[in-house]
Amino acid sequence: MSEAVYTRQDLNIMQAWPLTRKIQVTQAKILEWYHNYGGKVSVSFSGGKDSTVLLDLARRAFPDIPAVFVDTGLEYPEIRDFVKSIPKVTWLRPEIPFPRVIETYGYPVISKEVAHRIYYARRGSTWAKLNLCGLDGKGNSTEFNKRFLKWRFLMDAPFPISALCCNVMKKAPIHRFTKESGVMQIVGTMACESVRRQNAYLKNGCNAFHKREPTSQPMSFWTEQDVLEYLRLTGIPYASIYGDIVESGGRFATTGAQRTGCMFCMFGAHLEKSPNRFQRMALTHPKQYDYCIHKLGCGKVLDYIGVPYTAGKEVTAFEQEAPETP
């Protein structure tokens, strides 16, 4: 059976819970998932701070629970090194490398929602074309679809665009592993990360046993602050790329990277202040930066959408604190 459908107010209340209660509820959801599948479960582990917390919570209850890591080739070196230090982790690889993905499907730009519509509008889909004009499938103007108007110019971009990268590079290997092994995954995504993830939680709750492909996301009601507080409180190891966790004015922050998804992903880059992820990469990971900007062609894409990527004077302060690449 599925959990009760939550409202936005319900989520707000849960996100305001103290960390101790969130830990208890999350572990209860992990226990529920574990026992439902007779222990044939594993943690989907990216090496990032969120999944690091999830794996720790799971192994406090079940020390032998395995983890699965998808080695896309796009992870920060520090992330891969950290994953290597964790026991009982199965490494998976995508069937198609990233250069072929962007050549075949397109670059991941702006957001999944925008890239998805550009991809299908270019292939003649009426609904996608209407959305990019601010209209729903019936041709009615909606506030939701008006947000796509500003990105219509991407229809004329001299490069392919799509939101399929994550599906091919990350989801497909996990799906294949689950289908072949029967091992059900526990994922560390949170509702606060995107509108899509928020809506999924409101519709399905943490453990969606009723779905055709059941999902477990027991940290859905956590926030970024909860994750940082947990890491600082427990003192468990985490990837060095984040630097230290410091507290100021009652809020936690990392002195290093704030996000550690795929290094070359351009989703959300237009929203970042300088130094953005690419400007920081130029300083901390120059080899990967050169490959990304020049060999993969991400520089021309960033130029087209107006995102700076060179390390100029605006990154001087960051340069003084930037950690050295191992």
236 and 307 share a domain? no
Identify whether residues 194 and 281 lie together within a single domain.
no
What residue type is assigned to position 304 of the chain?
Y
Same domain, 36 and 91: yes
Q: Which of 68, 199, 209, 191 is nearest to 58 (CA)?
A: 68
Q: What is the C-alpha to C-alpha distance for residues 50 and 168, in angstroms, rounded to an integer?
A: 22
| Nearest one of 43, 164, 180, 184 to 96, comparing CA atoms | 164
Within its chain, how far is the Cα of 220 from the centroid? 13
User: Are 182 and 219 in a shared domain?
Assistant: yes
Contact 260, 69 (CB under 8 A): no
d(CA 146, CA 230): 39
Neighbours of 251 (CB within 10 A): 11
Q: Which residues 6+ apart lie within 8 Å of 38 measured at CB?
A: none
Regarding whether 118 and 31 lie in a shared domain, the answer is no
Does one domain contain both 180 and 132? no
For residues 199 and 84, membership in a common domain is answered with yes
Q: Are residues 147 and 91 in the same domain?
A: no
For residue 107, which amino acid is it? Y
262 and 163 in contact (C-beta within 8 Å)?
no
Spatial separation of the C-alpha atoms in residues 120 and 113, rounded to whole Å: 11
Gyration radius of the chain's alpha carbons = 20
CATH of the domain at 218: 3.40.50.620
Total domains in the chain come to 3
Does the residue 258 lie in any domain?
Answer: no
Whether residues 131 and 275 share a domain: the answer is no
Contacts of 287 by beta carbon, 8 Å cutoff, 6+ apart = 325
Domain, as residue range, for 17:
8-97+165-241
d(CA 200, CA 112): 15
Domain identity same for 198 and 315 = no
Question: Per-residue confidence of the chain (326 residues) as pLDDT tens digits?
Answer: 444 578 999 999 999 999 999 999 999 999 999 999 999 999 999 999 999 999 999 999 999 999 999 999 999 999 999 999 999 999 999 999 999 999 999 999 999 999 999 999 999 999 999 999 999 999 999 999 999 999 999 999 999 999 999 999 999 999 999 999 999 999 999 999 888 889 989 999 999 999 999 999 999 999 999 999 999 999 999 999 999 999 999 999 999 988 888 999 999 999 999 999 999 999 999 999 999 999 999 999 999 999 999 987 555 555 545 444 44
- Asked whether residue 260 is domain-assigned, the answer is no
Is the same domain home to 182 and 89?
A: yes
